[in-house]
């Protein structure tokens, strides 16, 4: 069970967690030894003490930090709590459990949230759609239906559900979201600071981070801007200082907004117990509040100090250090061994930025005849940068450089100053023979292929540089689980003339690799080119953008979920911008064409019967064409496990060489009102020869459904009654939509029908 990320700026925190090991455990009572969750094999978890010895033997599937004397553990897929002796205090019986906060802990049963006390008694029944920890004032944010309010420790709403999102009280105020803007309320529910911010954090030391137009600043508890929004990122104040970022450099400011430690770090953590972790030259060390480096940068990861100890990682080992940097113990970093290496085929999308350049050679980073090495002009006269690989985008034509599917960089288009040469090859000594351009190791580190001149260690070329300050030597060893020889850069000795050596060489398992694909190969795989597909978009859109989407393999532990798909064609309309890795997004207009045989084969090979079952059901439906459809209409998308709970405006459509069924639908996970922005029009069809499965999705906005918060609130005036009568509500909503005219929807149903009926699909052209 995972929570939804409700505010974009929380991504900042996620970014930081990639560098740091921040622990959230409460301070220990005196004379109590701190314990750390640990797994030596990635399978069974226990706890070690400050000497690195087992204090609680590994017998759990999961183990969290101790908070208020209890730690969350999992056994047989269920969560409970143990004390510091390892004794089970609350039996593992919950689907999910969180840390204790002010005497209560959130637990989940069958998707419903409630609270237990430290004796294991269910203090508040599992009844909410979401719930947060209790604050010191005895209030906790909880969700009922689609809205959040605040409950007291009896489970009664002290502040009625009325917010899109609501967060934990801090310094007597809580951030809430109304109409997509964040403000603050007090414990009576009165608005203290009007909703006006794109994001607002918790109050700490009298100030809270706020974001306006992508710039972060700070307000006081009256809502006054104390420090104007001017930073790229900003963290809470701690010890009188706050870490902020300007132009990708972190420093520290005081409550007046003045820099006391100038921006100079690639990353900076909040101060805790007088020290803060900062990043210098790809390593983490600790500074004091004057900016003095107290513990030299040497760690791959570093956490905050708590109770005089901080957890750190270095050279594939982790341990804890004291404020002097003295290690209390070290243990190997746990790396879960993958059962298979996922091979990701990749084509970039088409970014907005365009830069001029020439691409005289094939790529040395990937063995792909369509990938290039390019020289790109910079902003200054005579400035030139080399990029490799530059890849052909999903339209099969545009060259894109600087893309990173792991880091999320979209790169830029290349405007060629000279035509591409017809024949060329990279030199043998620098060509990447493995085909892997990006690599993700089992421990989470990512590595990128080095093109051009590099160096050798133990007489092997250094081929990859990794995010954990390690390198990979020589070619990767392919197999069910790919392997690599890994060396920490700190262990390399020698000089350039005499050669470099490393005594410590580790065998690293690879969890995933990324291999760019040639668009021509994808067209052959699909058996269809985009120029063999045509349709009329008159009155619906100004332009259609074709895209080649590479295959996404089904994961090994898929449990029947549709998390894979074959290479296919995707057509988007006007300025719709969808991720280049495929998937289905029903809130955006898109036409998808899949090769049926490839879809069924890859699903069957992964042990997923759902694809064949749904395609068989669709074939039967289109052959029989019943006037009334019983049950769900088959759709080859799972939408996060949501259920198809509404079907209206069902109609069969024919196009040249095929047929399908169109309808208005909604997918839900709970008993929430159906709005005009979460229903959509879809068409599910097949070509007559059975070669292609066609899916079309388009939002279906209508004034017949609630479209604003007031209308939703009216439906939820009595939430309990709404839930009790939900099936009746669904039927009434279906009847309303069935009785609607085509023009009651935007765009009209007849416009969408006409487009699909004009669809023509032909074979790939040689």
pLDDT of the residue at 336: 62
Checking 395-402 for CB contacts under 8 A at 24+ apart, the result is: 395/350, 395/545, 395/546, 395/547, 395/548, 396/519, 396/520, 396/523, 396/530, 396/546, 396/548, 398/350, 399/359, 399/372, 399/374, 400/348, 400/349, 400/350, 400/351, 401/355, 401/357, 401/374, 401/376
Which ranges in 669-724 belong to alpha helices (H)? 709-715, 719-724
In whole angstroms, what is the distance from residue 501 CA to residue 479 CA?
Answer: 27
Structure tokens at 626: 């019943």
- DSSP classification of residue 722: H
What are 289-309's pLDDT values in tens digits? Answer: 999 999 999 998 899 999 999
Residue 733 sits at the vertex; the CA angle it makes with 731 and 736, to the nearest 5 degrees, is 110
In whole angstroms, what is the distance from residue 103 CA to residue 292 CA?
Answer: 39
- Say what percent of the chain tops pLDDT 70: 92
pLDDT of the residue at 763: 63
Residue 515, φ and ψ in degrees, nearest 5: -125, 115
In whole angstroms, what is the distance from residue 243 CA to residue 249 CA?
Answer: 10
- Which H or E run includes 401? strand 399-401
Homologous superfamily (CATH) of 170-333 is YVTN repeat-like/Quinoprotein amine dehydrogenase (2.130.10.10)
In whole angstroms, what is the distance from residue 218 CA to residue 229 CA?
Answer: 7
Structure tokens at 143: 């969700």
Peptide bond into 389 cis (omega under 30): yes
Torsion of CA 201, 204, 205, 210, to 10 degrees: -10
Torsion of CA 392, 597, 640, 755, to 10 degrees: 70
Q: What's the pTM value of the predicted model, to 2 decimals?
A: 0.63
Of 164, 181, 176, which Cα lies nearest the Cα of 709?
Answer: 164
- Mean residue pLDDT across the chain: 88
pLDDT of the residue at 170: 96
pLDDT of the residue at 233: 94
Rounded to the nearest 10 degrees, what angle do helices 596-605 and 610-624 cross at?
140
Delimit the domains of the chain by residue range: 170-333, 342-516, 519-761
CB 192 within 8 A of CB 172: no
CB 584 within 8 A of CB 652: no
In whole angstroms, what is the distance from residue 195 CA to residue 124 CA?
Answer: 30
Checking 352-355 for CB contacts under 8 A at 24+ apart, the result is: 353/411, 353/412, 353/413, 354/412, 354/413, 354/414, 354/415, 355/401, 355/412, 355/413, 355/414, 355/415
Of the listed ranges 452-456, 462-466, 471-475, 663-667, the least confidently predicted one is 452-456
In whole angstroms, what is the distance from residue 66 CA to residue 53 CA?
Answer: 17
In whole angstroms, what is the distance from residue 645 CA to residue 650 CA?
Answer: 14
How many residues does the structure list for the chain?
A: 766
Confidence class for position 15, pLDDT limits 50, 70, 90: very low
Confidence class for position 553, pLDDT limits 50, 70, 90: confident
**By three-state DSSP, how is residue 480 classified?**
coil
With 90 as the cut, is the pLDDT of residue 764 above it? no
What are 27-59's pLDDT values in tens digits? Answer: 555 446 789 999 887 778 999 999 999 999 999
Residue by residue, what is the 3-state secondary structure of 44-105? Answer: CEEEECCCCCEEEEEEECEEEEEECCEEEEEECCEEEEECCCCCEEEEEEECEEEEEECCEE
Beta strands in 478-526 (DSSP E): 483-488, 493-495, 499-501, 506-516
With 80 as the cut, is the pLDDT of residue 315 above it? no
Region of residue 180 (left: phi > 0; alpha: psi -120 to 50; beta: else) = left
Residue 415, beta-bridge partner list? 356
pLDDT of the residue at 446: 87
In whole angstroms, what is the distance from residue 529 CA to residue 371 CA?
Answer: 20
CB 342 within 8 A of CB 512: yes
Q: Residue-wise over 389-419: b if at least 16 C-beta within 10 A, else e?
A: bbbbbbebebbbbbbebeeeebbbbbeeeee
Mean pLDDT of 224-249: 96
With 50 as the cut, is the pLDDT of residue 167 above it? yes
């Amino acid at each position: 069970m995972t929570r939804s990320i409700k505010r974009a700026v929380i991504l900042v925190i996620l970014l930081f967690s990639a560098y740091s090991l921040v622990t959230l455990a409460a301070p220990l009572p005196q004379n109590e030894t701190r314990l750390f969750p640990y797994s030596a094999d990635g399978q069974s978890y226990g706890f070690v003490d400050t000497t690195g010895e087992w204090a609680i033997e590994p017998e759990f599937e999961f183990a969290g930090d101790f908070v208020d004397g209890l730690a969350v553990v999992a056994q047989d897929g269920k969560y409970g709590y143990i004390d510091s002796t390892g004794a089970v205090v609350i039996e593992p019986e919950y689907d999910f459990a969180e840390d204790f906060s002010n005497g209560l802990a959130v637990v989940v049963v069958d998707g419903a949230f409630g609270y237990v006390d430290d004796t294991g008694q269910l203090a508040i029944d599992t009844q909410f759609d979401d719930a947060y920890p209790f604050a010191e004032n005895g209030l906790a944010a909880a969700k009922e239906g689609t809205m959040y309010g605040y409950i007291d420790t009896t489970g009664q709403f002290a502040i009625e559900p009325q917010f899109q999102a609501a967060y934990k009280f801090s310094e007597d105020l809580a951030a809430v979201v109304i109409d997509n803007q964040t403000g603050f309320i007090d414990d009576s529910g009165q608005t203290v600071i009007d909703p006006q911010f794109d994001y607002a954090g918790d109050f700490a030391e009298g100030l809270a981070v706020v974001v306006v137009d992508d710039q972060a600043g700070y307000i006081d508890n009256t809502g006054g801007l104390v420090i104007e929004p001017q930073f790229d990122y900003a963290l809470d104040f701690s010890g009188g200082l706050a870490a902020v970022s300007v132009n990708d450099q972190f420093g520290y400011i005081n409550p007046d907004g003045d820099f006391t430690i100038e921006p100079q770090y690639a990353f900076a953590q909040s101060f805790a117990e007088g020290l803060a972790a900062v990043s210098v030259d790809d390593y983490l060390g600790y500074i004091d509040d004057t900016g003095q480096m107290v513990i030299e940068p040497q760690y791959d990861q570093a956490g905050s100090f708590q109770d005089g100890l901080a957890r750190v990682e270095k050279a594939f080992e982790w341990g804890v250090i004291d404020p002097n940097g003295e290690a209390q113990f070290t243990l190997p970093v746990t790396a879960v061994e993958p059962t298979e290496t996922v091979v990701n085929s990749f084509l970039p999308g088409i970014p907005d930025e365009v830069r001029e350049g020439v691409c005289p050679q094939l790529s040395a980073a990937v063995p792909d005849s369509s990938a290039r090495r390019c020289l790109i002009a910079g902003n200054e006269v005579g400035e030139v940068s080399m990029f490799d690989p530059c890849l052909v985008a999903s339209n099969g034509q545009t060259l894109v450089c600087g893309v990173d599917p792991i880091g999320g960089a979209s790169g830029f288009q290349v405007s060629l100053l000279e035509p591409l040469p017809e024949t060329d090859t990279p030199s043998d000594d620098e060509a990447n023979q493995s085909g892997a351009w990006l690599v993700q190791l089992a421990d989470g580190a990512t590595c990128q292929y080095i093109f051009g001149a590099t160096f050798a260690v133990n007489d092997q070329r250094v081929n990859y540089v990794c995010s954990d300050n390690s390198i990979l030597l020589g070619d990767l060893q392919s197999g069910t689980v790919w392997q690599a020889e890994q060396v920490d850069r700190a262990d390399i000795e020698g000089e350039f003339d005499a050669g470099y050596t490393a005594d410590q060489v580790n065998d690293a398992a690879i969890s995933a690799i990324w291999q760019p694909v040639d668009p021509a190969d994808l067209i052959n795989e699909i058996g269809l080119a985009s120029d063999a597909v045509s349709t009329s978009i008159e009155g619906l859109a100004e332009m259609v953008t074709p895209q080649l989407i590479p295959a996404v393999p089904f994961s090994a532990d898929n449990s029947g979920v549709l998390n894979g798909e074959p290479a296919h064609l995707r057509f988007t309309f006007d300025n719709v911008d969808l991720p280049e890795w495929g998937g289905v997004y029903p809130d955006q207009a898109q036409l998808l064409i899949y090769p049926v045989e490839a879809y069924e084969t890859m699903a069957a090979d992964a042990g997923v019967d759902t694809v064949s079952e749904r395609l068989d059901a669709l074939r039967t439906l289109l052959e029989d064409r019943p006037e009334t459809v019983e049950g769900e209409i088959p759709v080859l998308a799972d939408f996060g496990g949501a259920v198809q709970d509404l079907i209206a405006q069902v109609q069969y459509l024919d196009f040249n060489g095929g047929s399908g069924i169109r309808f208005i639908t909604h997918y839900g996970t709970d008993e929430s009102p159906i709005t005009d922005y979460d229903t959509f029009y879809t068409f599910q069809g097949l070509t007559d020869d059975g070669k292609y499965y066609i899916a079309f999705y388009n939002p279906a906005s209508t004034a017949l459904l609630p479209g604003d918060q007031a209308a939703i609130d009216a439906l939820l005036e009595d939430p309990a009654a709404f839930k009790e009568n939900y099936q009746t509500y669904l039927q009434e909503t279906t009847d309303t939509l069935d009785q609607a005219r085509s023009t009651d929807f935007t765009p009209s149903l007849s416009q969408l029908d006409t487009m699909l009926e004009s669809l023509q699909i032909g074979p790939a052209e040689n």
